[in-house]
Chain A
Amino acid sequence: MRISEHEYTFETFIKELMEVGIEPGERLRVVSYLANEREWKTESPVVPSLIDLMVANSVKIVELGDVKKLVAHYRDSETNHLVPVTYFAFLHRDTRLLLCFTTASKFDVEQTLDRIVERNPGLYYGLMSSSTFSKLDKMLLESHPGTLITYFSARRNRQSALRSEIRPDYERSIEYYGNDGRNVLEELKHAYGVALRSIHFEIPDFAVYQVHNIGQFTLSRGQNDARKFLLEIVDFAMRDSLLMRRAVESGDFRLIPLETKRKTLLFPKLQPWLIRFGLPLDFKEGENLVSILQDSGFDVFNHVLAPGSLRLNGMVADRVKNAIFTIDANSERMVVAPVQEVSFDSFLRFYQAIIENFDPNAVCEVSE
């Protein structure tokens, strides 16, 4: 993809993107991330600015007006050569959505931007839940009634709370190719209790779109007019992702002072956000949840996990994003709150660990 290098507004860039030649074998991919800040350069006390994050990770930045060309690198393990990976990135000020347009492969993205997202605070995947996939499917069927699901991948963690009719104690990963994907997905979901990771939508005689649950969208077949619809799909799916961020960002922590002659006492006041489970949980599932969180890089500590009706509460440390927060769960819901400054990405990573490995139908909400 040869985007010419000059100043763009977002609109002129999109116009160029709609028309630019894409080499055979290349695929247009939109990688969407949620950012903490509205601007590339900020002075947040909690997270590094996007510019600092890119520079610290040796990403070369070329200013193209509202759009930035990012050239990241990774070392190919076989040839030991540095492989450049190019993105055209736009940070939407109002939504803090960072859209990166590229023709790089999924592997290239994993080796570059995804690594930055995984290891640093302030940026996270444009996460999609199973309900986002269902809504997207419905939207596609309404706009293009012949839309097929021709591929999907789904997984089950051995300790998942999702009901599985067949051998629930097995860990499994399923990939399916076939034009009856929509039916098979429903059948396998119930029979094997699997959670969706990615899906291919085929609109006959128009396009094939690949959608991955971490907010990656690829046009794998289709002409120029299919590119525009790719952006509509991104826009549709990211609305849910923004709602998730809004929910987790509603979690708050402040200190209420009490002045006396001797000292100022400070009382922590927490405002939680909430995860509503898809099915009521029992004690055994609570144990499984703690174990899944541990495997996903979260230490649950100084906690209570009491037998009987599920009662789980205590502290959580995110080993990857370096954050500490607190949780309280019963059989219906879990409330989560920061105990110090936590940027949203740690909470989204926590929610992702739950929907990918434990309860794909768990919904995150603002707590009333």
Chain B
Amino acid sequence: MEDFNHFREGLSSEEKETLKKIYDKKTKELKEVLGREIVIDNEHLELVNLCYNLFTKTTETNKVTEYRVVLVDPLYTLKIKNFDLMLYNEGIKTAILIEVKSSISERSLGETVDETIQAADEARSRKDKLELFIGGEIERIESVILSFAYYTDSLKDVVISKGASLCIWAYHFPPGLIRMLRTGEDVHSEQLAGRMHADENLRQILLKEISTSRMGGLRSLPIMPTSHMFAKLEHIGQQLFTRLDRQPQDRRWFGYPLVFNLCKQAFSPTELDDSQIEEEAKKIIDAAIEVGLFRKINEEDEISLMEFEISYRRRDYEKFKEDYLERRAKERAFDASVKEFKHEKGLKKLDEFRE
């Protein structure tokens, strides 16, 4: 913003007017982009939960396949950003890493496959860590991309053409079922290539179908460490309202420990330890202050000593989304509009302009 203002000051009034128009246009565009990011993130949570709900311990699918969810965001603490769930079959010591994609553009198909393969390789090289995380021995790691059925056919072509070791699970809705794609006629060679599961029982079940209709996308996991910050703020905000509304009007303030506990609860099926959860909680608090969701009510500078209240009245909370989009879009629009302005003016660098 400072750069933007500085840049703006050096312009003539006519140019300022042009910049303002570009800025307003960019803000509008970026708001839509951000809105779309949030939709994709919610659909991501839907697909993750869909799969989680199938493979939680004691479910029908868990019983027939003998796979269960053992980690959420399994590689997050290893600083590998891919994969959302890890399933594990203790009997045959096989782990399955699942990467959920709620949106894949045609042109990023190759990149998606490459990244997933690379992350799976990294995961294999850190097998000892994963064994420690789940407290069990792993002999085999398979990887899966789960996505909506309308993306998976093109994904399949890319996986085959790249000879990638990836199984593809497609979510068909309606009617609400997950099915593994058949990547080739010869099951044995596909299995050796890592595009079909080695476990025949699981393979047969997935080639047929697993119905998701009993639980659908119920949010057993309301947020994950890798969720969009907006989803985290919404979740924490609503949790705080629910707890604080029970307090008398003059005591509806809270501190860092409550946010930490809410994060700890939300991230309980992950490998994050207390210090990592602390970091997450602090990031959420920083973001909440920045976007005007939390208001500081004491003078402390240290986050763990700060006390806050929620800046919104509960019945007006739906405005938060609009305000969040507006605020974040405006922030992103500063750089974007200066860039476009310069482009239009044929100027390449801010420094050149200053000279």
Given contacts A256-B58, A266-B268, A266-B269, contact A315 B133 (CB under 8 A): no
Instruction: Say how far B170's CB is from chain A's closest CB, in angstroms.
Output: 15
Among A261, A265, A322, which residue has the most Cβ atoms of chain B within 10 A? A265
Tell me whether B69 and A324 are in contact (CB under 8 A).
no
Which residues on A sit within 8 Å (CB–CB) of B173?
309, 311, 330
**Contacts of B29-71 to chain A: CB distance below 8 A:** 39, 42-43, 45-46, 49, 53, 56-58, 69-71
Tell me whether B239 and A324 are in contact (CB under 8 A).
yes
**Contacts of A306-353 to chain B: CB distance below 8 A:** 306, 309, 311, 313-315, 317, 319, 322-324, 326-331, 335, 337, 339-340
Residue in chain B with minimal CB distance to A323: B242
Which residues on B sit within 8 Å (CB–CB) of A311?
173, 217
A206 to B28, CA, bound (A): 69
CB of A228 within 8 A of chain B?
Answer: no
Which residues on A sit within 8 Å (CB–CB) of B174?
309, 330-331
Which residues on B sit within 8 Å (CB–CB) of A339?
219-220, 222
Which residues on B sit within 8 Å (CB–CB) of A215?
none
A262 to B272, CA, bound (A): 10
Among the 9-residue stretches A35-43, A71-79, A177-185, A268-276, the one with 4 or more Cβ atoms under 8 Å from chain B is: A268-276
Q: CB-defined interface of B114-140 with A at 8 Å, one 1/0 digit per residue?
A: 000000000000000000111100000
Residue in chain B with minimal CB distance to A336: B218
Instruction: Say how far B140's CB is from chain A's closest CB, in angstroms.
Output: 20
CB of B231 within 8 A of chain A?
Answer: yes
Q: CB-defined interface of B202-244 with A at 8 Å, one 1/0 digit per residue?
A: 0000000000011111111111000000010011001101110
CB of A138 within 8 A of chain B?
Answer: no
Q: CB-defined interface of A198-235 with B at 8 Å, one 1/0 digit per residue?
A: 00000000000000000000000000000000000000
**Contacts of B131-181 to chain A: CB distance below 8 A:** 132-135, 173-174, 176
Which residues on B sit within 8 Å (CB–CB) of A304?
39, 42-43, 45-46, 217
Tell me whether B69 and A270 are in contact (CB under 8 A).
no
CB of A303 within 8 A of chain B?
Answer: yes
Which residues on A sit within 8 Å (CB–CB) of B234?
301-302, 315
CB of A294 within 8 A of chain B?
Answer: yes
Which residues on A sit within 8 Å (CB–CB) of B217?
304, 311, 313-314, 328
Tell me whether B42 and A256 are in contact (CB under 8 A).
no
Instruction: Say how far A1's CB is from chain B's closest CB, in angstroms.
Output: 36
**Contacts of A247-281 to chain B: CB distance below 8 A:** 255-256, 258-263, 265-270, 272
A266 to B238, CA, bound (A): 22
Tell me whether A299 and B268 are in contact (CB under 8 A).
no
Tell me whether B57 and A256 are in contact (CB under 8 A).
yes
A-B pair count, CB < 8 Å, reads: 136
A266 to B46, CA, bound (A): 20
Interface residue from B135, B216, B223, B241 paired with A328 (Cβ < 8 Å): B216
Instruction: Say how far B273's CB is from chain A's closest CB, in angstroms.
Output: 7
Instruction: Say how far A359's CB is from chain B's closest CB, in angstroms.
Output: 18
CB of B270 within 8 A of chain A?
Answer: yes
Interface residue from B135, B222, B269, B318 paired with A326 (Cβ < 8 Å): B222
Tell me whether A270 and B53 are in contact (CB under 8 A).
yes
A269 to B52, CA, bound (A): 9
Residue in chain B with minimal CB distance to A368: B214
**What DSSP secondary structure best describes chain A's contact surface?**
strand
A31 to B135, CA, bound (A): 56
Instruction: Say how far B175's CB is from chain A's closest CB, in angstroms.
Output: 9
Instruction: Say how far A317's CB is from chain B's closest CB, in angstroms.
Output: 4
A367 to B216, CA, bound (A): 13
Which residues on B sit within 8 Å (CB–CB) of A259?
135
Tell me whether A303 and B135 are in contact (CB under 8 A).
no
Which residues on B sit within 8 Å (CB–CB) of A331?
174
Q: CB-defined interface of B258-271 with A at 8 Å, one 1/0 digit per residue?
A: 00000001001111
CB of B246 within 8 A of chain A?
Answer: yes
Interface residue from A265, A270, A302, A317 paired with B220 (Cβ < 8 Å): A270
CB of B317 within 8 A of chain A?
Answer: yes
Tell me whether B56 and A267 are in contact (CB under 8 A).
yes
Instruction: Say how far B227's CB is from chain A's closest CB, in angstroms.
Output: 8
Interface residue from B42, B58, B213, B223 paired with A303 (Cβ < 8 Å): B42
Tell me whether B218 and A313 are in contact (CB under 8 A).
yes
A299 to B234, CA, bound (A): 11
Which residues on B sit within 8 Å (CB–CB) of A262?
132-133, 135, 271, 273
Interface residue from B42, B135, B273 paired with A302 (Cβ < 8 Å): B42
Instruction: Say how far B242's CB is from chain A's closest CB, in angstroms.
Output: 5
Which residues on B sit within 8 Å (CB–CB) of A315?
219, 222, 234-235, 238
Interface residue from B132, B223, B245 paired with A322 (Cβ < 8 Å): B245
| A-B CB proximity, top 4 nearest | A328-B216, A260-B135, A313-B217, A266-B268
Listed in ascending order, the chain B residues whose CB lies under 8 Å from chain A are 39, 42-43, 45-46, 49, 53, 56-58, 69-71, 132-135, 173-174, 176, 213-223, 231, 234-235, 238-239, 241-243, 245-246, 265, 268-271, 273, 314-315, 317-318
- Other A-B contacts than A265-B271, A315-B234, A330-B174, 16 sampled, CB-CB below 8 A, are A258-B135, A262-B132, A265-B270, A268-B220, A268-B268, A302-B234, A313-B49, A313-B219, A314-B46, A319-B241, A322-B243, A328-B215, A330-B216, A335-B214, A337-B215, A367-B214
Task: List 6 A–B pairs whose Cβ atoms lie within 8 Å, in order of A's numbering.
Answer: A262-B273, A269-B57, A309-B174, A322-B242, A328-B215, A335-B216
